[in-house]
Amino acid sequence: MPELPEVETTRRGIAPSLTGQRILQVTVRERRLRWPLPRGFEAQVAGCRVGGVRRRAKYLLVDTDRGTLMIHLGMSGSLRICPAGTPWRRHDHLALVLDSGHHLRFHDPRRFGCWLWTAGDPLAHPLLHGLGPEPLGDGFTADHLARACKGRAASIKQAVMDARVVVGVGNIYACEALFAAGIDPRRPAGRVGKPRLARLVGAIRAVLQRSIGLGGTTLRDFLNESGQPGYFRQQLQVYGRAGQPCPACGAAIRRVTLGQRSTFYCQRCQR
């Protein structure tokens, strides 16, 4: 599944080819995405000029002079820029035809992705309103995390994976960041002290930044449609390594289930 680093890598990849372009038309081959493309979608988008591409959580926001396209990659979606004459592949569902002679093509075998149009402020859209801060933005601080965790009995891992606390911290990143911060993922969120929460904020930022830095690799991996995450696998310290030695102390990595998600940690290094 494309996670925040893959979405950010996609944003950086497509933004230069989209910004300043006029969308001449929208070609749709399959309307049945996560939510069916509404009738009239093509007419709303055709003729718009793109001002820029932002990201909020895992949504790409293509801002135009008339409104904003909100794109989510779902489980298996990907975007690419290609010359207009490029043959369509199976599962290419939609294209923006740009005046540069290129297409922005949307490919999504499982069709859990979505394309929405809003003429208003996309950040006020029900899908984005009420989300926590961006993990790499200024709003994600130890103070913020301490407020969000105060009195919370659920585990610290579930807290950082809650999009109302902070967006974009997927399961792999939560496991890796908690290991880097030396925090037991099972510990109640309300019982992690502020210095340790500050360490966790830094670890979450670092693990996401590192993955974005490796974006080319991860992007290629998820385009392979293997169905398995290919995220910076060589760099993973605990995720998916149950029974193997902890890279810090040599104790066996443990696997438990928290909030129905596989959770990997070192009992000796994480308290």
Give catalytic residues, as residue numbers: 2-3, 58, 261
CB of 266 to Zn ion, least distance (A): 3
Q: Which is nearer to Zn ion, 42 or 184 (CB)?
A: 184
CB atoms closer than 10 angstroms to residue 158: 20
CA nearest neighbour of 133 among 59, 56, 207: 56
3-state DSSP of the chain? CCCHHHHHHHHHHHHHHHCCCEEEEEEECCCCCCCCCCCCHHHHHCCCEEEEEEEECCEEEEEECCCEEEEECCCCCEEEEEECCCCCCCCEEEEEEECCCEEEEEECCCCCCEEEEECCCHHHCCCCCCCCCCCCCCCCCHHHHHHHHCCCCCEHHHHHCCCCCCCCCCHHHHHHHHHHHCCCCCCEHHHCCHHHHHHHHHHHHHHHHHHHHCHHHHHHHHHCCCCCCCCCHHHCCCCCCCCCECCCCCCECEEEEECCEEEEECCCCCC
Give me the 70-89 binding string for Zn ion, x by CB under 5 A, dash otherwise: --------------------
Q: Does 266 interact with Zn ion (rule: CB under 5 A)? A: yes
Nearer to Zn ion, 20 or 245 (CB): 245
Nearer to Zn ion, 201 or 266 (CB): 266
- Whose tokens are 């009195």? That residue is 151
Among the listed residues 232, 235, 244, 160, the one whose alpha carbon sits nearest the alpha carbon of residue 196: 160
Rounded to a whole number of angstroms, the minimum distance from the CB of residue 20 to Zn ion is 50
Q: Which is nearer to Zn ion, 29 or 268 (CB)?
A: 268
Please identify, using beta-carbon distances, which residue of 165 and 238 lies nearer to Zn ion: 238
CB of 270 to Zn ion, least distance (A): 7
Convert residues 224-263 into a mask of x (bound to Zn ion by CB under 5 A) and - (unbound): ----------------------x-xx-x------------
Is position 175 an interface residue for Zn ion (rule: CB under 5 A)? no
Q: Does 268 bind Zn ion (CB under 5 A)?
A: yes
Residue 119 in contact with Zn ion, rule: CB under 5 A: no
| Closest alpha carbon to 178 in 154, 196, 163, 151 | 196
Provide the minimum distance between the beta carbon of 249 and Zn ion in the complex, in angstroms, as a whole number: 3
Least CB distance to Zn ion at residue 181 (A): 13
Q: Rounded to the nearest whole angstrom, what is the least distance from the CB of residue 203 to Zn ion in the complex? A: 15
Question: With CB under 5 A, what is the number of residues at the site for Zn ion?
Answer: 7
Q: Does 271 bind Zn ion (CB under 5 A)?
A: no
Nearer to Zn ion, 169 or 238 (CB): 238
Residue nearest to Zn ion (CB): 246
> Would you tell me which residues interact with Zn ion (CB under 5 A)?
246, 248-249, 251, 266, 268-269
